[in-house]
Structure 1
Amino acid sequence: MITAQEIAPGSLSNSLTVFDHFEFDDHEDVVFVRDKVTGLTAIIAVHDTTLGPALGGCRIWPYQTTADALTDALRLSRGMTYKNALAGLDLGGGKAVIIADPCKDKTPELMEAFGAHVERLAGTYITAEDVGVSPQDMEAVALQTNHVRGTKASGLGDPSPFTALGVFSGLQAAANHVYGTHDLTGKRVSVQGLGHVGFDLCRHLHDAGAQLIVADIHAPAVARAVETFGAEAVDANSAHKVEADIFAPCALGGILNGRTIPQISAKIIAGAANNQLHRPADGLALNKRGILYAPDYAINAGGVISIALAIPGGGAQKVKEKTLTIGDTLARIFQKSAAQGATPEQIADQLAEERLVRSFHDKQAVDSS
């Protein structure tokens, strides 16, 4: 049994369990995975299957503690429930985290072992790629389970180009709300994180005439962006506080917090990272400063749309059209936020929860008929 001491040091008594974790939100399943042969250590969290099987990526990260990994799995899986609901998909929310260094510990055998554990869940959870996981890794997972997306056999392969496209569409909607135009010509955009999604987002922004400021802990990625887009490079820890019109966080979550928010000069925050707000109060802090925040799970849904709607061997046009509606969704969120005096993330949560409640009642009515 994992105790609360391991889950959240200092926050709960040792006698409490995962059910008392501060990020536990009536999750349906939380599975702790070990494979002695490959060294696999993972957590699979299924948050809600009201709308359908729980779809969410697998993240590989060298978490310092099991507690950190559990916190990430619980929080990210809940975010996937809301992301899929708001995107209009008939899918629930789940997430998997593998505790490992993706540069040192990841092997095809480890990914196959993970796939075998996904298979044990019998379709309750459908996995896909996330931070530290490549399309090739998903192909290895697919050797052990059919409950995997983002592979060549299941659709369009790498979902990151669609994630980037959706973020770009949402970013334009935010610019229109603040500046009165979708045109990004001359706008200074600071992009933090130059992985597959961040780099593709830079490409869209560059083509749209934006001036790019880029940052990443991986120096070669920064050098590539500088050479390709004529971008200005800054330290990864400074990306949020440089003079810019728009800040696009595309790395790990928690970047918007009590320390960073007072340092932000941008009028818009619109990026691909999950769980950008360290805590709910940080959204209120942004609102008080007059900074428009595009809720992360609303703007970064392009990837999950691609793996949900693609068909084996194609479906790109349908996925692209659906992904571009992310801008429309965000425009509606911003309008309702302004009209109701609520933060954008409060409105996004409200819209997602309304769909979940409707689906639940519809199922209850069918079951009782």
Structure 2
Amino acid sequence: MTEVTGAPADVLHTLFHSDQGGHEQVVLCQDRASGLKAVIAIHSTALGPALGGTRFYPYASEAEAVADALNLARGMSYKNAMAGLDHGGGKAVIIGDPEKIKSEELLLAYGRFVASLGGRYVTACDVGTYVADMDVVARECRWTTGRSPENGGAGDSSVLTAYGVFQGMRASAQHLWGDPSLRGRKVGIAGVGKVGHHLVEHLLEDGAEVVITDVREESVRRILERHPEGRVTAVADTEALIRVEGLDVYAPCALGGALNDASVPALTAKVVCGAANNQLEHPGVEKDLADRGILYAPDYVVNAGGVIQVADELHGFDFDRCKAKASKIFDTTLAIFARAKSDGIPPAAAADRIAEQRIAEARRAR
């Protein structure tokens, strides 16, 4: 059953005709005093309270924001299931440019909306929101993670997100080349912001050659200045990155839809493994990758380090315990590749089957 609260007519079509259906609850939030417009989507609570971050982004329309929230929430159900967490999937999006409209008043209003759900949804950071923002939200809502250590939280979850993606890359290398090391491999990273810049460090420590790009010039400049020895190079944009000669691994670490009808035919890499959510722009792209002999590490599997970290915060955060859990992404990714091979399906479909099985078993056990 899907419950829709406060839905204006212009987004009803998106809600009821989405190909990502089956959501338990969708809440549209508006606070005129602060300028808040937000969507909270709860896909499933079969495994426990829905857990997922808050994205703050200048969507072109409310319908686009709703569609993104629905897709992201569904992805969180699968991510949490594959990570072995006792949480369902949810996601929130705040509509607007965070650099222009984000304010304490707006974040507090948002916190009140999350609190009104009584713990069915637990929020955290995502694109456009940061630890300091969650500290503000937490003043109105106790179901808030990703807070600063000073406020009882775990801090920046991008640290373990990057670590988990690195483990997914190692598993991909093991499966494809028989060796988990990335030494001597050329890895292209699209997006070197919160997660991407940590991923660069892991790869360099492992001996990889790294090529980067980002829409923010200052993000690229920061990486290049940190590594003046030339082990990191930059290209103009993602279109140039995916065509880099000799690229072994492509890591989309920005927004979703990076793998589409235009990018997949142009890819030179043999592996795709990155931190971005919803990398497959539409159903069928996973088959296109497989047909080209490109190994795809499902995004919601390899980028689960962050949600592992924030989930642990609810029980008294322990970094070493979280890192140990995130290390298991290596084994989980290998298991997905094995299932894909045995079932004769792409890895994305294999991951979906495993996640759906766990969610279905939890529903039957209720």
Give the alignment's TM-score, normalised by structure 1.
0.93
| Matched letter for residue 165 of structure 2 | V
Aligned to 1:137: 133
- 5 Å-filtered alignment, 1:252-331, equals 252-310=255-313, 314-331=317-334
2: CA distance between counterparts of 1:211 and 1:18? 43
Distance (Å, rounded) in 2 between the aligned partners of 1:305 and 1:160: 11
Q: RMSD of the alignment, in Å?
A: 1.4
> How far does residue 203 in structure 1 lie from its aligned partner after superposition?
0.6
Matched with 1:42 is 38
* Offset of residue 108 of structure 1: 1.8
Aligned letter for 1:168?
F
Residue-by-residue CA offset, 1:127-147 (whole Å, 9 max, x unaligned):
000000010000000010001
Secondary structure at the counterpart of residue 284 of structure 2: helix
For 1:274 and 1:240, locate their aligned partners in 2 and report how far apart those are by CA, in whole Å: 18
How far 1:335 moved relative to its partner? 1.3
Which runs of structure 2 are paired with 1:68-217 in the superposition (5 Å)? Answer: 68-151=64-147, 152=149, 153-217=151-215
Tell me the SS of whatever aligns to 2:68. Answer: helix
The list of structure 1 runs, each at least 4 consecutive aligned residues, that deviate by more than 3 angstroms after superposition, is: 16-19, 310-314
Counterpart of 2:354 in structure 1 is: 351
Which amino acid counterpart does residue 119 of structure 1 have in structure 2? Answer: A
Q: Does the CA contact (< 8 Å) of 1:189 and 1:247 recur in 2?
A: yes
CA distance in 1 between counterparts of 2:152 and 2:270 reads 40
Task: Give the counterpart of 1:241 among 240, 243, 263.
Answer: 243
Task: Indicate conservation of the 8 Å contact 1:206/1:212, yes or no.
Answer: yes
Asked if structure 2 preserves the Cα contact closer than 8 Å seen for 1:23 and 1:71, the reply is: no
User: Contact (CA 8 Å) 1:156, 1:311: kept in 2 or not?
Assistant: no
Task: Say which SS state the counterpart of residue 60 (structure 1) adopts.
Answer: strand
Alpha-carbon contact 1:156-1:312 (below 8 Å) kept = no
Choose the corresponding residue for 2:254, options 251, 256, 259: 251
Distance 1:95 1:154, change over 3 A: farther
Residue 2 (str. 1) matches residue 4 (str. 2): no
What is the CA–CA distance in structure 1 between the aligned matches of 2:94 and 2:314, rounded to whole Å?
28
Q: Give the CA deviation at 1:24.
A: 4.1
Distance 1:130 1:21 in 2: 26
CA drift of 1:276 comes to: 0.1
Residues 313 and 337 from structure 1, CA distance in 2 versus in 1: closer, same or farther, beyond 3 angstroms? closer
- What are structure 1's unaligned runs of at least 5 residues? 8-15, 364-369
| C-alpha separation in 1, matches of 2:164 and 2:58 | 28
CA drift at 1:45 = 0.4
DSSP-derived class of the 1:349 partner = helix
Deviates more, 1:257-266 or 1:330-339: 330-339
Q: 2:16 aligns with which of 15, 20, 35?
A: 20
What is the aligned counterpart of 2:343 among 340, 345, 348? 340
CA distance in 2, matches of 1:339, 1:224: 44
CA separation in 1, counterparts of 2:14 and 2:206?
Answer: 47
- Aligned partner letter, 2:195: V
Structure 1 residue 339 displacement after superposition? 2.1
Cα distance in 2, alignment partners of residues 24 and 332 from structure 1: 25
Distance in 2, matches of 1:355 and 1:133, equals 30
Structure 1 stretch displaced more, 229-238 or 199-208: 229-238
2:52 is the counterpart of 1:53: no
Which amino acid counterpart does residue 235 of structure 2 have in structure 1? V
SS in 1 for 2:215: coil
CA distance in 2, matches of 1:234, 1:249: 14
Distance in 2 between the 1:23 and 1:281 partners?
14
Q: 1:148 Cα deviation (Å)?
A: 0.5
Deviations 1:108-167 (A, max 9, x none): 221111101101111111100000001000000001000111113443121110100000
Instruction: Output the amino acid matched with 1:82.
Output: Y
In structure 1, distance between residues paired with 2:198 and 2:17: 36
Query: Does the CA contact (< 8 Å) of 1:62 and 1:100 recur in 2?
Result: yes
Q: Which runs of 5+ in 2 are unaligned?
A: 1-6
For residues 318 and 272 of structure 1, the distance between their equivalents in structure 2, rounded to whole angstroms, comes to: 21
What is the deviation of 1:195?
1.1
SS at match of 1:144: coil
The answer to whether the 8 Å contact 1:155/1:315 transfers is no
Q: How far does residue 106 in structure 1 lie from its aligned partner after superposition?
A: 1.1
Identity of aligned residues (%): 45
Distance 1:312 1:76 in 2: 24
Tell me, yes or no, if the aligned pair for 2:81 and 2:87 is still in contact at 8 Å: yes
* 1:307-350 alpha-carbon deviations (Å, 9 max, x no partner): 11236764111100000000100001011112221100111001
Aligned residues: 353
- Structure 1 residue 235 displacement after superposition: 1.8
- The answer as to whether partners of 1:154 and 1:311 remain within 8 angstroms in 2 is no
How far apart are residue 42 of structure 1 and its match? 0.5
